C-alpha cells in the first residue's frame, strides 16, 4: 500500500488528471503537490524574472499559488487534504531530487508546453526524464 505520493503539477490538464488519479486511486495516501517555478527556457524568461525578485522564495510561492489553488479545489471535491511545496529551477531535476521522500511519483504525461517542439527539444520531456532517473516508482497519467 502506498502511503506517500508526490504529484508534480503545472497549469496543464494532464497534471490535473494526475492529481485526480492519485486522490481517487489512493484514498488513504498522503499527497504532496509540487509546483516548480523558474523553468529554464530559450529566452530564460521565467528564470530571469524570478532571479530579479528581492525575495526569490516569496516570489516563487506567489507564482505557485494559482496552481495550488487549482490542486486544493480538486482535493476539496474529494474531501481530501494535501500538502504543497514549491521548487525553483528545472522541473525534472526538482522532482527527481525530492523523490526519495515518497513511495511513488504520479505525474501527467505532458506539461503545459508539451506541444511546443522547440521547448521539448531544448528543455526535454519532464515525464520521460523523471521515469528514467527517479529512484522510486513513477506513474504517468494521460
pLDDT for 10-37, tens place per residue? 989 999 999 999 999 999 999 999 999 8
Task: Report the alpha-carbon angle 90-91-94, nearest 5.
Answer: 85
Provide the grid cell at 31.
499527497
φ, ψ of residue 63 to 5 degrees: the values are -70, -30
Return the higher-pLDDT residue of 109 and 5. Answer: 5
What gap in Å lies between CA 134 and CA 91, rounded to an integer? 13
Number of domains observed in the structure of the chain: 1
Range of the domain at 46: 4-141
What gap in Å lies between CA 82 and CA 76, rounded to an integer? 9
pLDDT for 31-83, tens place per residue? 999 999 865 444 444 544 555 556 777 888 998 999 999 999 999 999 999 99
- Return the axis-axis angle of helices 126-133 and 91-98, rounded to nearest 10°: 30
Write the DSSP symbol of residue 3. Answer: -
Predicted local distance difference test score (pLDDT) of residue 92 = 94
Nearest Cα residue to 66 out of 7, 110, 11, 8: 11
Nearest Cα residue to 86 out of 108, 67, 110: 67
What gap in Å lies between CA 92 and CA 66, rounded to an integer? 20
- Residue 122: which CATH number? 3.40.50.620
Predicted local distance difference test score (pLDDT) of residue 89 = 85
Amino acid at each position: 500500500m502506498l502511503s506517500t505520493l508526490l504529484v508534480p503539477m503545472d497549469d496543464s490538464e494532464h497534471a490535473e488528471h494526475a492529481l485526480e488519479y492519485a486522490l481517487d486511486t489512493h484514498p488513504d495516501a498522503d499527497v504532496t503537490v509540487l509546483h516548480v517555478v523558474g523553468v529554464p527556457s530559450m529566452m530564460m524568461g521565467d528564470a530571469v524574472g524570478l532571479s530579479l525578485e528581492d525575495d526569490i522564495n516569496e516570489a516563487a510561492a506567489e507564482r505557485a499559488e494559482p496552481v495550488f489553488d487549482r490542486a486544493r479545489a480538486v482535493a476539496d471535491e474529494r474531501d481530501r487534504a494535501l500538502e504543497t511545496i514549491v521548487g525553483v529551477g528545472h522541473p525534472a531535476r526538482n522532482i527527481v531530487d525530492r523523490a526519495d521522500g515518497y513511495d511513488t511519483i504520479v505525474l501527467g504525461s505532458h506539461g503545459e508546453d508539451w506541444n511546443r517542439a522547440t521547448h521539448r527539444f531544448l528543455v526535454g520531456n519532464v515525464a520521460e526524464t523523471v521515469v528514467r532517473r527517479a529512484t522510486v516508482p513513477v506513474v504517468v497519467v494521460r
